[in-house]
C-alpha cells in the first residue's frame, strides 16, 4: 500500500523541492502539502510529477497551534495513516538581542518548534501500527553561534534537542525521527538572513531534498536519532 506523506513549508524553498522530489517516489501514494500561501502550494503542486502520487494542498497557518489536532485528524480521515511527516516550515526574522521583541520570539518558536511538536504528537497519536518516519529541519545555526540571529538560532537548537528526546522516547514504537541541519541554502529565508549573498554561490534546495528523500526511503533504518548536517561546497 502506498504511503501518505505530509510536507510542511511546501509553498516554496526546501519544502517545495522536497515535495517535487517525493512526487517521483513510487512508495508515496498521497502527498499532502501544508503552508499558508495557497498560490505557493498551487505552484508546488504544478511542479510535481503527475501520474505517480495524488497531491493535496492544505493551506494552513501553523501559528494556530490549537487547530493542528483537527488538521491532522482531517488528513487521517481523507487519506488514512500518515506514514511520513516532514517538518520543514520555518520562520526567521533576524534581530540582535536589544531589537528582539517578545512577538519575534513567540512567532519564531511557535512556527519552528511548537508547531513541529504538536504536529508530531498528533501524528503519533493517530498511528495505526504502521511505521512512521519524521524528518525535522533544524539548521547549522542551531549548533554553532549566530550573532544577530538569537531567536532563530535558539529555536533551531530546540529542534535538535526535541528530536533527540523524542527519538529515544519513541524507540521501539515504529517511529523513526531524523534531524537534518542544512547549511546555507538558496531560498527566500536565506535571502532574509543574508541579503547581500549571491544565491548562485550556495547550496540549492534540491540538494537538501535529495537527502530528505533518502532518509524517508523505506530501506533507511540506521540514521534515525541523529542530527545530520547537510552542506555543499559550490
Ligand X SMILES: NC(=O)c1ccc[n+]([C@@H]2O[C@H](COP(=O)([O-])OP(=O)(O)OC[C@H]3O[C@@H](n4cnc5c(N)ncnc54)[C@H](OP(=O)(O)O)[C@@H]3O)[C@@H](O)[C@H]2O)c1
Task: Please pick, from the candidates 19, 58, 179, 182, the single residue that binds ligand X as defined by CB under 6 A.
Answer: 182
User: Among residues 26 and 147, whose Cβ is nearest to ligand X?
Assistant: 147
99 sits near ligand X (criterion: CB under 6 A): no
CB of 16 to ligand X, least distance (A): 7
Candidate residues 99, 168, 169, 188; the one interacting with ligand X per rule CB under 6 A: 188
What are the percentages of helix, strand and coil residues in the chain, rounded to 5? 45, 20, 35
C-alpha span between 210 and 197 (Å, rounded): 24
Q: Does 210 bind ligand X (CB under 6 A)?
A: no
Q: Does 94 bind ligand X (CB under 6 A)?
A: no
3-class DSSP state of 24: coil
| Cβ atoms of residues 84 and 66 within 8 Å | no
Through-space distance between the first and last CA atoms of the chain, rounded to whole angstroms: 39
Q: Nearest approach, Cβ of 98 to ligand X (angstroms)?
A: 23
Q: Which residues are catalytic?
A: 152
CB of 224 to ligand X, least distance (A): 19
Who contacts 222 (Cβ-Cβ below 8 Å, separation ≥6)? none
Q: Which is nearer to ligand X, 58 or 166 (CB)?
A: 58
Main-chain dihedrals φ then ψ at residue 87, nearest 5 degrees: -85, 85
Judged by CB under 6 A, the stretch of 45-53, 71-79, 183-191, 209-217 that binds ligand X is 183-191
Restricting to residues 34-53, name those near ligand X by CB under 6 A: 35-37, 40
Question: H-helix or E-strand containing 197?
Answer: none
168 contacts ligand X (rule: CB under 6 A) = no
Residues 121, 87, 233: CA angle, nearest 5 degrees: 150
Write down the least CB distance from residue 36 to ligand X, Å.
Answer: 3
Cα angle for residues 220, 222, 225 (degrees, 5° grid): 110
Q: How far apart are CA 85 and CA 32, in angstroms?
A: 10
In the complex, least distance from residue 83 CB atom to ligand X, rounded to whole angstroms = 21
- Any contact of residue 215 with ligand X (CB under 6 A)? no
Beta bridge partners of 34: 8, 58
9 binds ligand X (CB under 6 A): yes
Choose the stretch contacting ligand X; rule: CB under 6 A; options: 23-31, 97-105, 163-171, 188-196. 188-196
In whole angstroms, how far apart are CA 96 and each of 100, 111, 149, 190, 205? 6, 20, 6, 17, 27
Positions 116 through 155 that interact with ligand X (CB under 6 A) = 137, 139
Q: Which residues bind ligand X (CB under 6 A)?
A: 9, 11-15, 35-37, 40, 61-63, 88-91, 111, 137, 139, 182, 184-185, 187-190
Amino acid at each position: 500500500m502506498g504511503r501518505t506523506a505530509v510536507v510542511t513549508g511546501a509553498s516554496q524553498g526546501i519544502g517545495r523541492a522536497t515535495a517535487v522530489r517525493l512526487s517521483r517516489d513510487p512508495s508515496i501514494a498521497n502527498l499532502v502539502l501544508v503552508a499558508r500561501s495557497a498560490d505557493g502550494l498551487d505552484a508546488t503542486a504544478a511542479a510535481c510529477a503527475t501520474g505517480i502520487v495524488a497531491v493535496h494542498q492544505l493551506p494552513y497557518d501553523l501559528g494556530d497551534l490549537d487547530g493542528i489536532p483537527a488538521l491532522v485528524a482531517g488528513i487521517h480521515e481523507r487519506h488514512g495513516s500518515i506514514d511520513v511527516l516532514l517538518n520543514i516550515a520555518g520562520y526567521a526574522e533576524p534581530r540582535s538581542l536589544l531589537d528582539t521583541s517578545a512577538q519575534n520570539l513567540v512567532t519564531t518558536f511557535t512556527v519552528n518548534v511548537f508547531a513541529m511538536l504538536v504536529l508530531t504528537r498528533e501524528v503519533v497519536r493517530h498511528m495505526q501500527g504502521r511505521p512512521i518516519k519524521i524528518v525535522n529541519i533544524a539548521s547549522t545555526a542551531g549548533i554553532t553561534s549566530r550573532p544577530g540571529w538569537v531567536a532563530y538560532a535558539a529555536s533551531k537548537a530546540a529542534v535538535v534537542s526535541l528530536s533527540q528526546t523524542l527519538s529515544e522516547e519513541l524507540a521501539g514504537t515504529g517511529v523513526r525521527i531524523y534531524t537534518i541541519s542544512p547549511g546555507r541554502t538558496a531560498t527566500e529565508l536565506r535571502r532574509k538572513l543574508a541579503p547581500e549573498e549571491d544565491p548562485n554561490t550556495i547550496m540549492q534546495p534540491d540538494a537538501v531534498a535529495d537527502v530528505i528523500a533518502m532518509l524517508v526511503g523505506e530501506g533507511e533504518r540506521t540514521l534515525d536519532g541523529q542530527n545530520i548536517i547537510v552542506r555543499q561546497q559550490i
